[in-house]
Amino acid sequence: MIKVLVTGGAGFIGSHIVDRLVKEGHQVLVVDNLSTGHRINLNPSAEFVKLDIQDDALADTFNRFGPEVVIHHAAQVAVTHSIRHPLYDARVNIMGTLNVLEACHKSGVRKLIYASSAAVYGLPESDMLKETHAIKPLSFYGISKHTPEHYIETYARLIGLDFTILRYANVYGGRQDAKGEGGVVSIFASKLLNNERCAIFGDGEQTRDFIYVKDIVSANISALTRGSGKIMNISGGSATSINQLLRTMCDITGKRFAPVYMAPRTGDIKDSVLDNRLAVKELGWSPEYTLHDGLLETLDFEKQSRTKVEKGVS
């Protein structure tokens, strides 16, 4: 049993990680300010403290719980919000992470696992983005997710805090908010289940590297004991076009709605695939879900949550 503190554990990815940690018998404390997370996502067997990661009281919470490992997922996650509100984005993602690092230092945490993003790379200069690819973020979000990587590496050097940094591709799965990164799957799921047509920006032939949330969870579980001092891409490692994604979701739901094609969005990247071979080697991990199986579970999850809401079950 490990004592694990999960920041952002009421959010999409963090809550799935908490569920798995609890299932494996670990003692879990969630710190989340519920800005985009929801109480309904909280695992009843995990302790919960409603707190902003920027709060001075964070160190007391860490000291009281005494975590061995911190899995840090709390963040401002919307690229568009970062462009409209760069100060807020930097406060949460940079200063908030710095406060987490200080709390780790003061409470003797052994290891920090940090959720970083493919957004740190910017425009792909090769077909498969390796971790050594140039860092040229296209948004303030990309900057604010990358800057903490420097702080983490420097804390490791100065005070010996162990770490693993995981740069996620487009994550999808149940509980995802349509506003976040990779929100296209949750937007399409919601439209299809409402019997509405889906909008595609551009010709739909742009590709993304989708990864199912349970594969992200298993990478975090491996990182509890492996991947020391490493920065790694966590991705499916293959390209899926938006047209292909929608076709698969239509096949699963049996819905046949032609998409509405809209003008391409400025700044949208044409193709993006992350090389995941370093994580395969260092974490002894590999993605297990095919796109079809991940989407099937996601759509089932979405249908079940709707039924629960209709019946008034929490």
Ligand X SMILES: NC(=O)c1ccc[n+]([C@@H]2O[C@H](COP(=O)([O-])OP(=O)(O)OC[C@H]3O[C@@H](n4cnc5c(N)ncnc54)[C@H](O)[C@@H]3O)[C@@H](O)[C@H]2O)c1
Q: How far, in Å, are 31, 60, 223 from residue 107 at the CA level? A: 15, 9, 20
Which of 128/166 has CB closer to ligand X?
Answer: 166
Binding site for ligand X (CB under 6 A): 8, 10-14, 32-37, 52-54, 73-77, 92, 96, 115, 117, 145, 168, 170-171, 177, 180-182
The yes-or-no answer on residue 121 being catalytic is: no
- Residues 231, 286 contacting (CB under 8 angstroms): no
CA-wise closest residue to 252 among 293, 221, 283, 219? 293
Q: What residues contact residue 156 under an 8 Å CB cut-off, 6+ apart?
A: 162, 163, 229
Which of 77/249 has CB closer to ligand X?
Answer: 77
Residue 63: CB minimum distance to ligand X, A: 18
Measured between alpha carbons, how far is 228 from 91 in angstroms, rounded to an integer?
A: 27
Which of 78/161 has CB closer to ligand X?
Answer: 78
How do beta strands 207-208 and 240-241 pair? antiparallel
Given 88, 114, 121, 141, the catalytic residue: 141
Residue 201: CB minimum distance to ligand X, A: 17
Residue 114: CB minimum distance to ligand X, A: 8
Which of 92/224 has CB closer to ligand X?
Answer: 92
Measured between alpha carbons, how far is 276 from 188 in angstroms, rounded to an integer?
A: 26
Tell me which residues are annotated as active site.
141
